[in-house]
Amino acid sequence: MIQIENLKFQYPRAEFMLRLPRLVVEAGQRVAIVGPSGCGKTTLLNLISGITLPLAGTVQVCGEEVSAMSDASRRNFRIAKIGMVFQQFELVEYLDVLNNILLPFSINSTLPGSSGMRCRAIEFAEAMGLKEKLTRRPAQLSQGEQQRVAICRALITEPGVVLADEPTGNLDPENKRRILDLIFQLAEKQNQTLVVVTHDMGILSGFDRVVDFEKMRFSKAGEKSSGSVDSAVGDQA
């Protein structure tokens, strides 16, 4: 479902280069990405989704080479095929909760929208504990509630791949477990591939595989990488 080969990326004037010789994530697999802040975990999600382009190498998602697409093609592909949960949520401030969840259908006319999508969005919101918040705007929500709206929006299109950056970071323990279980249930039901960046070691038991960026994910510019990506994969959770 996700295949990365000989990937190199470096931000302008940055001191390190992200090097990924190879990373393969199978369809339906649940993968957690862990490691210290600043080591490239969010950058990896941006490269997979096509928000950021590599300096070298290839990124394939759902059999398509995302790194070779035009800007417009990458955007449409991302909206249709990839569910994104951003660390900063990226909700539209002038839209209420329901319309934020339905946003992908408003900005990509190629998505197969239907009259049932509104009902589905309401069902998602209710499952996330947002039943009484549907008409509120993001500024009227807590951070945890905003995060749950972002998760609903990522899942509403039934994407093949879900990329989530700290999806439980602003949730209390009770909601964290409940919502994570819901994400896992939906991913399994729809055979979705799930890649989650997290600092929360307490949730790793729910994943099939843990990739540890602390061992190897970036090196100083010009330095040789310490090894292949697959050899850095942590123990099975």
Q: pLDDT digits over 38-83, tens only? A: 778 889 999 999 999 999 999 999 989 998 999 989 988 888 889 8
Q: Which residues of 70-103 are buried (b: 16+ CB within 10 A; e: fewer)?
A: eeeebebbbbbbbbbbbbebebeeebbbbbbbbb
The number of distinct structural domains making up the chain is 1
Band of residue 236 on the pLDDT scale cut at 50, 70, 90? very low
The answer to which of 115-119, 139-143, 154-158 has the lowest mean pLDDT is 115-119
Quick check: 237 and 206 in contact, CB under 8 A?
yes
Name every residue whose Cβ is closer than 8 Å to that of residue 206 and which is 6 or more positions away in sequence: 30, 180, 181, 184, 237
Among left, alpha and beta (phi > 0; psi -120 to 50; other), residue 97 is: alpha
Question: What single-letter amino acid sits at 82?
Answer: I
Quick check: 221 and 55 in contact, CB under 8 A?
no
Q: Does any domain span residue 237? A: no
Q: Report the CATH number at residue 16.
A: 3.40.50.300
Res. 191: pLDDT tops 90:
no
Band of residue 218 on the pLDDT scale cut at 50, 70, 90? very low
Mean pLDDT of the chain: 83
Q: Would you tell me how many other CB atoms lie within 10 Å of the CB of residue 27?
A: 12
**Residue written as token pair 């470096």:** 10
Q: pLDDT digits over 146-164, tens only? A: 988 998 998 888 889 999 9
Q: Which domain holds residue 45?
A: 2-232
Q: Does any domain span residue 156? A: yes
Q: Does any domain span residue 155? A: yes
Which is higher by pLDDT, 216 or 14?
A: 14
Q: Say what the pTM is.
A: 0.81
Q: Would you tell me how many other CB atoms lie within 10 Å of the CB of residue 12?
A: 4
Q: Does any domain span residue 159? A: yes
Cα 236 → chain centroid: 20
